[in-house]
């Protein structure tokens, strides 16, 4: 059998059109000259991009999201990579149980995690604060980093690290001189995806973000609920371009399907 066949390919093309249509439509809409969501737009302009640059709350939210995502990424790597190292390289009792413990949060819907965090943070006055948002996002990113880096580290050839040891490198030197350099592409990809996960995190943020500190997705949800104009489309284009850039980096380094799958 060669390839996928004509019927299957055409059908797949249709589904692809459906998958991509919201994104394509958003991009076209961002250049709309209309006051409302009309598709196809009656005219094209850059007015919504100009509006975007002048929209204080959205820009403030964007800035907060970038800050949160940056801090979340750094902390998640700092906490998650050592754990992944121990899980990938160590042999100790209870390893399987610990692995499931670390991965369990990935199975829990963010709706439940968000609610639990709201109940936990409220008495501590951590809702709508930067530390609160960072900790909240880390419930998702830390397990993600641990999962991705455990796989990446476990897939490194064992002999190369053993070789470094026989050449006189202490275990920590082996990690520094061999393990981590070899895992660098995976590490960068992991950082990119953590950033994206935190940046796009909506449900947990909706629970714990307040008017004082609201991230970009939260601000976007509120905007869409209230109004129907193409401003969000313009903002979306910015996000899509940024996302594509990250996806491209990850694809070059490790392959997206492998990174987000299991």
Among 54, 56, 97, 157, the residue binding other proteins under the rule CB under 8 A is 157
β-pair partners for 32: 44
Query: Which listed range, 48-56, 66-74, 147-155, 174-182, lies at the site for other proteins (CB under 8 A)?
Result: 174-182
Among 64, 146, 187, 191, the residue binding other proteins under the rule CB under 8 A is 146
Binding characters for other proteins, 214-233, by CB under 8 A (x = yes): ---x--xx--xx--x---xx
Closest CB 93 distance from other proteins, rounded Å: 9
Contact, 134 vs 217, CB < 8 A? no
Contact, 33 vs 41, CB < 8 A? yes
Among 33, 66, 71, 251, the residue binding other proteins under the rule CB under 8 A is 251
Closest CB 224 distance from other proteins, rounded Å: 6
Closest CB 53 distance from other proteins, rounded Å: 19
**Contacts for 230 with CB less than 8 Å, ≥ 6 apart:** 29, 30, 32, 34, 37, 41, 48
Among 60, 70, 71, 116, the residue binding other proteins under the rule CB under 8 A is 116
Q: Which positions from 8 through 27 interact with other proteins, judged by CB under 8 A?
A: 8-9, 11-12, 15-16, 18-26
**Contacts for 161 with CB less than 8 Å, ≥ 6 apart:** 89, 174, 178, 179
Residue of 202, 82, 90, 231 whose CA lies nearest to 142: 82
What is the rounded CA–CA span in Å between residue 86 and residue 56? 45
Contact, 198 vs 68, CB < 8 A? yes
Among 43, 160, 176, 245, the residue binding other proteins under the rule CB under 8 A is 160
- When asked if residue 155 is in the footprint of other proteins (CB under 8 A), the reply is no
Among 73, 139, 150, 198, the residue binding other proteins under the rule CB under 8 A is 139
Closest CB 54 distance from other proteins, rounded Å: 20
- When asked if residue 67 is in the footprint of other proteins (CB under 8 A), the reply is no
What is the rounded CA–CA span in Å between residue 118 and residue 46? 39
What's CA 111's distance to the chain center, in Å?
A: 17
- When asked if residue 247 is in the footprint of other proteins (CB under 8 A), the reply is yes
Contact, 144 vs 178, CB < 8 A? no
Closest CB 119 distance from other proteins, rounded Å: 5
């Amino acid at each position: 059998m060669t390839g996928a066949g004509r019927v299957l390919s055409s059908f797949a093309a249709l589904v692809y059109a459906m998958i991509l249509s919201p994104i394509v439509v958003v991009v076209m809409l961002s250049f709309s000259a209309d006051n409302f969501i009309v598709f196809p737009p009656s005219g094209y302009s850059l007015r919504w991009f100009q509006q975007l640059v002048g929209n204080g709350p959205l820009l403030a939210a964007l800035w907060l999201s970038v800050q949160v995502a940056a801090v979340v990424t750094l902390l998640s790597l700092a906490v998650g990579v050592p754990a992944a190292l121990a899980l990938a390289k160590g042999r100790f009792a209870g390893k399987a149980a610990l692995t499931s413990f670390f991965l369990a949060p990935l199975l829990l819907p963010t709706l439940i995690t968000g609610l639990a965090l709201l109940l936990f943070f409220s008495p501590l006055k951590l809702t709508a604060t930067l530390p609160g948002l960072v900790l909240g996002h880390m419930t998702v990113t830390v397990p993600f980093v641990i999962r991705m880096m455990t796989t990446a580290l476990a897939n490194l050839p064992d002999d190369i690290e053993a070789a470094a040891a026989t050449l006189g490198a202490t275990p920590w030197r082996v990690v520094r001189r061999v393990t981590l350099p070899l895992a660098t592409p995976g590490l960068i990809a992991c950082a990119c995806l953590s950033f994206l996960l935190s940046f796009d995190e909506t449900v947990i943020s909706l629970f714990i973000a307040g008017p004082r500190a609201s991230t970009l997705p939260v601000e976007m949800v509120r905007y869409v609920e209230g109004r129907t104009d193409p401003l969000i489309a313009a903002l979306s284009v910015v996000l899509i371009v940024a996302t594509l850039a990250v996806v491209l980096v990850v694809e070059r380094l490790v392959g997206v399907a492998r990174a987000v799958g299991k």
